[in-house]
Amino acid sequence: MVVFRKDPCGVTCLLMTYAAVIYADYVIVRWIVLQSMPETYWGLFHIIAFNVIVLMLFTSHARAVFSDPGIVPLPTNRIDFSDLHSSQEAGEPLQGTQQPPDEDWTICTRCEMYRPPRAHHCRICRRCIRRMDHHCPWINNCVGEWNQKYFIQFLFYVALLSAYSIFLVTISWYYHGAEVDAKRPSGMPTNRELIQLKQSRILHSVILVLESILFGLFVCAIACDQFDAIFSDETLVEQAKRQGPFRPKKAKMSLMAEVFGHSHPIKWLLPWHSLDKKILNKSHPSSYTV
């Protein structure tokens, strides 16, 4: 079970994420749909569709936050580094329980243990993470082998929600003009209530569009990095350390299946569909004693 990290930056980013999404939902429902498409089936459709995307966004985000990214369990006994250094100076191999489970495993001096291939230590989580890509403050968790799927889903739904928000704001202003003219008495100037309503609507619409553009471009840039890392079969940590590919070149769909699972691609967008960790454990064993 993943322990919630009390990292100030991560907690702040979590609160900002929830506040931005809730504000977008409020603006779309209160100031966009109900003002431009009241009592219409299209208005009801957009409210339901928008909130379905919000639900998928929150679900994928929660799973990315609270899922185990692939933490390597600590062994029953830590490595005795004094024996390790003395053996290396004498040119003798380690004996008995000091041998790593596999020749490709490396040593983490912070966790004082052997770690499987492609695992890296996170200084914020203070643990080694399987196939660690990076530590993301927006989910207050590492992006690793077991939760990268949910992280990419979160990016997808943020981008989709941003595009949908801009679309609704754009089309609503086309219908809103005719509606205001219909409410206005013939030959009479606009009253104060209509002016205040329009000013509030303009203010919320501008803020929402700016927020959507900012977050939309931001998550699209991160998503491009994620897919580049998947297709190159290198995590961002491995790219930064200039470590070469670990496995033979595979087809893109095979690489995607390693992240999203071997189910039908349609299920790749469902945040409640979990990966089969038993298969992952067989290919990357981490339960060992030293």
* Residue-level pLDDT at 194: 79
Least confident among 7-11, 36-40, 131-135, 182-186: 182-186
Block residue for tokens 């990214």: 69
Measure the CA–CA gap between 112 and 132, rounded to whole angstroms: 18
Taking only the tens place, the pLDDT of each residue in 169-211 is 999 887 765 454 455 545 444 677 778 888 899 999 999 999 9
Contact 98, 290 (CB under 8 A): yes
Backbone angles phi, psi at 176, to 5 degrees: -70, -35
State the helix-helix crossing angle for 148-183 and 8-26, rounded to 10 degrees: 30
- Place 80 in a pLDDT band, splitting at 50, 70 and 90: low
Name the residue ranges covered by the structural domains of the chain: 10-71+143-283
Measure the CA–CA gap between 229 and 234, rounded to whole angstroms: 5
Cβ neighbourhood burial of 145 (10 Å; 0-12, 13-18, 19+): buried
Return the ∠ at Cα 235 (arms to 77 and 221), rounded to 5°. 140
SS3 115: strand
Evaluate if residue 94 carries a pLDDT over 60.
Answer: no
Backbone angles phi, psi at 95, to 5 degrees: -110, 155
Evaluate if residue 290 carries a pLDDT over 60.
Answer: no
Taking only the tens place, the pLDDT of each residue in 99-136 is 566 667 888 888 888 899 999 999 999 999 999 999 99
Query: What are the start-end ranges of the E strands in the chain?
Result: 106-108, 113-115, 120-122, 127-129, 134-136, 141-143
**Residue positions annotated with a catalytic role:** 136
Looking at every residue in the chain, the average pLDDT score rounds to 83
Alpha-helix residue ranges (DSSP H) falling in 99-191? 148-183
